[in-house]
Each structure stands twice: as C-alpha cells, then as structure tokens.
Amino acid sequence: MTKQPTGKTTTMNFEAFDTEIPTLGQAKVPTPIPKYAMVDRHGRVIEKSFVSDTDRVAVHDSLDYLESLAPGEPPLAMELAGPRSQIYFDPSKVHCAVVTCGGLCPGTNDVIRALVLELYHLYGVRHIYGVRYGFQGFIPKYGHDLVDLTPEAVANIHIFGGTVLSTSRGPQDTGEIVDALDRINIRILFLIGGDGTLRAASEICKEITRRELRIGVIVIPKTIDNDIALVSRSFGFDTAVEVATEAIHAAHTEAIGSPNGIGLVKLMGRFSGFIAATATLALREVNYVLIPEADFDLDGEGGLLANLEERLKQRRHALIVVGEGAGERYFTEENRERDPSGNLKPGNIGHFLQDEIKVYFKKRNLEVNLKYIDPSYLIRSRPANYNDRIYCGFLGQNAVHAGMAGKTAMLVSRWHSHYVHIPIQAAVDRRKEVELDSPLWRSVIESTGQPPLKNL
C-alpha cells in the first residue's frame, strides 16, 4: 500500500484525520476503457483523461484554514474518484457481489443498476451477483440464493422504489460473512448502506486483512437522514425532501382549514435534522421546527406550548415540523425500544407532542384541531426523483472505478462538487449534524420566526 500525504493539522479547530485509501496491491492491468479523442466545436482535439492517485480534493476550502497551515504544510485532502489507466483486477476473471443493507431509501435500485451496467459494459465483467436480504444473504442458515445481475435483470429496476435485492437489519457474524465471500470467490464487494453498514464494513475489512485475503470492499453511503460525515449529500435525500414538502403542505392546508388548527409533521432524522430543516425552507409555511441538534422546552414562558398558544391567539393556526430524534431528553431508556442491531430507537416524539399539546390546551379550555402526519414510509418506498437518479449513477460508476483499481475499505462521496474516496474509518468516527450557527439553520430561524423555545 502506498501512503498518500494527508496534510494533518490541529490548528484553528479544523479536525485532522487520515485520508489514506488502502489498496489490495499494485495496479498492473491496463484498463479496458477505450481511449478516444473528442473534437470540440472549435476543432480542438481533447483526449479522454484518467485520474491519478495523486489527484486530490481539499477537505477544507476556507481562507481561515488555508492561512492556518504552516509554511510548506500540505492541506488535508482526499483522493479524487474516477477511472484509472491501470487497474488491479482482470475483468474477465473477477467476481463481484452487490448487497443492500438497512432501511429502504429512494435510489437504491438506481445504484444497483449503475454498478451492474458499469461493470458489464465498460469493464467487461461477467460475474456479478446480488446478495439477497442484506448480510443475511451470506449466512448459510438463512438459505437465501444469490441472484445473477445482468443488464437484462436490472434494465427497468430504477422505476421502482425499495431494493430488488431486499434488505434486512441486525448484525451477522463477521467471520461467516468473510467465509462466504471467500467460498464463492468474491473479489469486490459493493455495500449499499448507512452508518450501521459502515461499521459492519469496517469489521469485515479487518477480518479480510487478518486472513490476508485479496477482497476489496467499497461502500456506497445510503441514508435518507443525510447524516454520514464527509458526504455532502447522500442519495435519496433530495427525494425525501420533495415528498416531505407534500406532507408539510397537506398539514398547512389542514391547519388553516379550521379554527385553532395545528398541523404537526414528523420527519425522519434520528440524529440530524437536515430533512426537517431543508423541507421547511422549500415551502416557508412552517412556524416551528424541532430538530435533534437544538434543545427546546415544552413548559414555561419561553417553551413551545406557551409560544404555540400565543401564535394561535394571533393567527388562529400553526404548523410544526419535528425531526424524529428531537426532544430525546423527554424519553428515558426504559420507554424506548431497541432496533435489531441493539441500538436505542428514538422516542416517538410525534405522538408525545400530539398528546402534550392536547393536554395543555384542554387545561386552558381552548379547543384546538390538531392533525398529525408521519410520511416516513411513503418517503422510504418512493422511487428516486430525477436529481437523485443522476446522482446515484455517478456514485455507482465511481464505486466501480475504485473497486476495479483495487481500492478497499472506502466509500464514494461527493465533496466540493467532486467525487472522492473516503476511508471507511474516517466516516465511522464522526457524524454530520446541523450546525446551529450555519447558514442553513439561520435561514430556518429567519423563515419561521421562531424564538429559541427555551426558558433562558
């Protein structure tokens, strides 16, 4: 493995991390991607160029960061994604597998389709398998068969929501997963999943390394919540915001349609409020936005309920959007469930607020008409919109380029308008959240006009 300069820094509060991308070995196979010349309208010949491992994209582009560097210190930078002139695997012999894990997300089928078409048509790979039902598909006791993924098999899957490979949650034995990869001669594993999949992929890579196997692991990050670190936007997020705005519009229509009408919409976002914040800005009809990153009080003069009462007195209607992970301090560990992976689920903030609002106004003998909408499953199961569909194509293509070049233990990301390679560990070690002093959240506050909702 060749270690690239990482430009680590600890000044100006810019966090340093290792940007090295592991490789399975030296890439010695000439790429089958044809070299051809293109001629622009001025008659100039432009040759198709390949990407080098020394091509980098800066992690931070602020002037403060650049000025914080010591003389001669290279900036923290990530490896640029794209096709290499030399690849590691022989396309005629390599076996690839694709697996989808975690919850449903718009665009998953588009990524599967992009992976297969790129492997088959551009590189000439003929051994591409789909693993059914997530990591369960590797474990013999479940009895899930592999699926042959051909261009014909994926021709029309992008018009459907969900995943044609199906999915599952919960951990599986890492040793058994690697046993299966070795047994069926898989040399590149493409994983489509979120934070739980990233953690599992990290463990799989460690086991592969321990056994000294030559198996590449490439992750295409999937999370509607848009909360994976070092990923500017995760696929499915754009579609999720689009559908969320439909729910917000419906709740607003309900709220203004009756005296003291309250629309309450719960949107996805266990740890990060990007969907709630972005969907709010898309319509600018929302009066209160509650997200996991911002604490709020229910009671007291500065709390939500008193503010809501004053809002109804003045305008006779109100619209509240809440991210599913907001208000976690109102729930104890005892009244929260765990998911199949053993992680605590967020408390049901939507139902909690619904009950608290009704009780509050009943005590004041004020009649309210509250309509609660949770569009989560409508969002998860939607096909991707055109913007996500295009994005999924780029992610799939660049994942294939990385896998065929012998890269491993990495995910494909878009950063500063470039596609880049991110070490799995760098993404696992942190989470992306809405910064309360960011332009995004400041714009939300300006749009809604909401106060801090705290008894300061």
Cα–Cα dist 100/161, whole Å:
13
Cα–Cα dist 203/218, whole Å:
13
Q: Is 307 helix (H, G, I), strand (E, B) or coil?
A: helix
Phi, psi for residue 256 in degrees, rounded to 5: -80, -5
The amino acid present at 395, given as its one-letter code, is L
Please, what is the Cα angle at 95 between 90 and 100, to 5 degrees? 135
Please, what is the Cα angle at 104 between 98 and 107, to 5 degrees? 65
Q: Which residue, 393, 386, 358, 384, is CA-closest to 372?
A: 358
Residue 191, beta-bridge partner list? 99, 219
- Selecting among 195, 225, 297, 374, the annotated active-site residue is 225
Output b/e per residue, 43-61; b: 16+ Cβ within 10 A: eeeeeeeebebeebbbbbe
Q: What is the DSSP string of 376-400?
A: HHHHHTSPP-HHHHHHHHHHHHHHH
Q: Which residue, 203, 149, 146, 209, is CA-closest to 177?
A: 203
Cα–Cα dist 401/55, whole Å:
15
Cα–Cα dist 210/190, whole Å:
20
- Answer whether 249's CB lies under 8 Å from 285's CB: yes
Cα–Cα dist 350/332, whole Å:
16
Residue 45, beta-bridge partner list? 39
Q: Per the structure block, which two tokens stand in for 347?
A: 């408390």
Is 110 a catalytic site residue?
no
Phi, psi for residue 297 in degrees, rounded to 5: -100, 145
Catalytic residue positions, numbered: 225
